[in-house]
Amino acid sequence: MSTAEAALNRESVCPNYVGGQWKASSSGRTLERRNPADLGELIGYASLSTREEVREAVAAAERAFPAWKQQPAPARGRILLKAARLLEEQKEDLARLLTREEGKTLVEARGELVRSINTLEFIAGEARRLKGETLPSELPHNFAYTVRQPLGVVGLITPWNFPFAVPIWKLAPALVCGNTVVWKPSELTPFCSRRVAEILAEAGLPAGVLNMVSGLGEEAGDELVEHPGIAALSFTGSNAVGGAINTKAARRLKKVQLEMGGKNPVVVLEDADLDLAATSTVLGAFGSAGERCTATSRVVVVDSVADRFVEMVAGQASKLTVGNPLDPGTRVGPLVGKEQFEKVLNYLELGKREAKLVCGGEAIQGASEAGGYFIQPTIFDNVQAGSRLAQEEIFGPVLSVIRVRDFEESMAAANSVRYGLTASIFTSDANRIFQAADRLECGMVHVNSPTVGGEAHVPFGGVKGTGFGERECGSSAIDFYSEIKVVYVDFTGRKREGNLY
């Protein structure tokens, strides 16, 4: 039996982790979690914790903060580095757990674990680079310098679609900066979240530095937002929830970081390598069953190559194997759960009314007799740029094709949504590459490559309705989780005269 499977059998209800102890929720309420590819397999139950349990977690984090703040930053970094080694050792078991609980294919799950390991390694190194600067003072015999200091107790609210990578890219910089944490993971992936907390504890994280409370957003999450002991909040999820968090946090003057939705375009111009563009579009649109904020949701293609391009993309999409994500040959797994499944089915019906269905458009049974949340990779053509299909985040394996006349119209269509996370352009024209990089309204631009992807040392985030606050990942991640303090040292040894401002 694997380590991850043994973790599932130890306790069918995932407990909370508070003050270094695993504690069953006092609420008695749980959420059943089944394998989304095989509804006959019960994974376990997520606790639905109370507001009081969140308060207990904040109190534990407050008690742990003074000692953790005093730990030298390189010592904090060594704990993260050990956690990276533990993730590496357990990568295959954890990938299988992730696949069974969330639905990613094994290849995608392994990729998420690699990204998590890379993030821990990079941020562990940042522990030796939490640098300030020395500055010349206007006064003689006065030394001015800056240092970074932690914020205190920070609250993290993370999604189900990347239950290892997103928590780790929030937790790692928060911890290395000297903060303590109360973390509310998604109730849809409780056992992946449990393994993250267990690995950090095994790596040597002191009791109370990390506290994990499972629960619903309207109760556990809301308490985290409203609690006066939380100095800052980092959230990844929907725009509706992110906007509500920002409104509530602003009343308490809390620092907020939000990563929200995406409606990412691929722009295909008449001089593009269509084979490359089609393959990249299929990868971006249907990988992870479209359940990622960087997924390709729209193709903006010039009329002169549109017919051929759509035919190529549809040909590749129709050959994708949809089924059990544990099977090596599967390319598209299930959606995470019933609510998301039904949401995407509703968009399929909308698309059939708004546009031309090219391929897909239906739910399928999948590999298990018990059923699963599988949807065919779907392409709609002749989608209007202002339609709901082109404007709203679907978060499923659905691609909308928007036809345009030329480069100018392609830029207008690509920018016509409220979101601004990532975009791709396929062209061989260097002038248009740089024009698009300048004009596309997004946080990340890919040239002749898919909208998906990122690296641990590179900033991640969007603009417009997608992102608010400092960027995640890379050295930029440190900015959100620390404050700059200025120190003036007067070494005259006597009273100064005159105007000191």
| Residues involved in catalysis | 259, 293
Q: Is 218 left (phi over 0), alpha (psi -120 to 50) or beta?
A: alpha
Residue 225's SS3 state is helix
Residue 424 near residue 447, CB atoms below 8 Å: yes
Residue carrying structure tokens 């295909």: 268
Cα separation of 363 and 334, whole Å? 10
**Rounded to 5 degrees, what angle do the CA atoms 92, 13, 3 make?**
20
> Which strand (E) or helix (H) includes residue 404?
strand 398-404
**What SS3 string covers 250-305?**
HHCCCEEEEECCCCEEEEECCCCCHHHHHHHHHHHHHHHHHCCCCCEEEEEEEHHH
Cα separation of 172 and 357, whole Å? 44
473, two tokens? 């990942």
Nearest Cα neighbor of 475 from 457, 461, 490, 488 is 457
Q: Give the dihedral of Cα atoms 292, 333, 396, 268; nearest 10 deg.
A: 80
Residue 192 near residue 98, CB atoms below 8 Å: yes
> Which strand (E) or helix (H) includes residue 241?
helix 239-251
Residue type, 481: Y
Q: In 71-161, which ranges are continuous DSSP H helix?
A: 73-89, 91-102, 106-126
Cα separation of 62 and 76, whole Å? 18
